[in-house]
Structure 1
């Protein structure tokens, strides 16, 4: 009798343990399907907020966006603190090694084509600039027309992109310096002539209402594409067509990176952003979508009445 009772207890305990395990796994699955936290390169935060607003209005789900500088995101990846990212580049083999060791294959989705805008005070006479002048200034050379370059964050993707472009590891903290946010850069440039601000295009195309007076006081420079079109005399602004066609030199791709290792809301949200509705939101934001055809409309002052 004791043996039968003991066997019953063991079977019951085994059943309860597995029942609790199954319950936890089910709860984890439900959490993945209804909640997701993305760590976002802060240079594209405005358009991603629009994406979340529409996405959540269409389904019962909660997507949390956490804006971070690129270097901060990479540090979190190394510590495996996050598997859902939005960045202006993909991870290197070394950066994603912690996930690779777990046999996690990433799901990488390109969602937009972005640009880095160079902005000046509207009091400035300059409307265009040669990209080589920016490179020279970052390398410590004297460029009479530039008092200083102002970045959004010392760890941001914009400063990393420009350092790579100029082939420099360290920068002169006196003439090339960073504030804390893109909005601070826009405000600084609106109040200081002679400086060039470096921000993501999205912050100029989708300013917050309280920033409108500052964005109205700055202008985006046209940039000569010495990188891929060295013989061209044309200057290009970061319009959607110029971004998509590669005419604007400071262009970069925006990716959604999923290292969760399991299907969940992160996958669903990436599918939404890459789909028709999400790409229309990208189009409205001023960035270039990757899955919608762009048309450039030219308005003529005079109408040709000839048939």
Structure 2
């Protein structure tokens, strides 16, 4: 009887270990994956993750949502090998992986844009790209910009466009989050808020509670450039047609070096189901875009 009990205990222990091993097995639709996400596109990515987990309950994501400059170091020092950014990696960033013969798989799955918002009582309803650049270069004192974060990809995008390395001494400021920008603009008409478009969504309760107090500015590009013929708002149609001046590609970049959950999620993001979520988020799905946009 004692031997039977010992045998039963050993079988149970082996069964538990085997079950645990099977649970940890990573495939395209199961396992655990660490992923870094630029928070300016956070709402969209969170919805994609939520639906993917409904489709594949054995998939587990350890997602970190932070400003771009806060997550890039973790990606480059090999702490996390999957990242979602509204740009491509630079040649210098690619070297961190290519010099170790690790393949970089980059897939665009959506196109978003940078929205400019102001208080509903502000007399301005449009702005030129040149005016935005002038503010960033310290040439204009009549308007003030408020970014979602000093380390965000929105500031990086416009900083590169304006050819500056840091904030000018006046008229350009930053909060900590996009929702803080929305709340400020709702009560202060002296600022123009700068944030990712997908934060201006009916699924964002902060936006919904303040949307009657804010408005989105129309944006006109420089003459001769796309979007330079008139003022365009960041509507879904204007994103799909590629005519809104401040467009950005949203990419998933996978450097895991294996066919695992990172690969499966990237493929799923570009599938009909993943693209439908992009469409419902009022951004531009990858498959509906008429051309590849090479904006950073």
TM-score between the two structures when normalised by the length of structure 1: 0.82
Q: Residue by residue, what CA displacement relative to the aligned partner does 1:210-245 show, whole Å, maximum 9, x if unpaired?
A: 442223321111101217538944100111221122
Separation (CA, whole Å) in 2 of partners of 1:216 and 1:121: 9
Matches within 5 A, 1:224-303: 224-226=220-222, 229=225, 232-292=228-288
Separation (CA, whole Å) in 2 of partners of 1:244 and 1:270: 21
Q: What secondary structure is seen at the aligned counterpart in 2 of 1:291?
A: helix
Alpha-carbon distance, 1:124 to partner: 0.9
Which of the pair has more CA radius of gyration? 1
Q: Is the 8 A contact 1:227 1:249 kept in 2?
A: no
Separation (CA, whole Å) in 2 of partners of 1:231 and 1:77: 34
Aligned mate of 1:192, from 188, 194, 212: 188
Which residue is 2:8 aligned to?
Answer: none
Task: List gaps (5 residues or longer) in structure 2.
Answer: 1-17, 291-296
Cα–Cα, structure 1 residues 161 and 293, in superposed 2: closer, same or farther, change >3 Å?
closer
Separation (CA, whole Å) in 2 of partners of 1:205 and 1:279: 17
Alpha-carbon distance, 1:173 to partner: 4.7
Q: Is the 8 A contact 1:207 1:215 kept in 2?
A: no
Cα–Cα, structure 1 residues 186 and 47, in superposed 2: closer, same or farther, change >3 Å?
same
Which residue is 1:40 aligned to?
Answer: 37
Matches within 5 A, 1:163-242: 163-226=159-222, 229=225, 232-242=228-238
Q: How many residues in Structure 1 have an aligned counterpart in Structure 2?
A: 268
Matches within 5 A, 1:18-97: 30-31=25-26, 33-59=30-56, 60-97=58-95
Task: List gaps (5 residues or longer) in structure 1.
Answer: 1-22, 295-307
Q: Residue by residue, what CA displacement relative to the aligned partner does 1:186-224 show, whole Å, maximum 9, x if unpaired?
A: 111111112100000000024422442223321111101
Separation (CA, whole Å) in 2 of partners of 1:64 and 1:206: 26
Separation (CA, whole Å) in 1 of partners of 2:222 and 2:23: 51
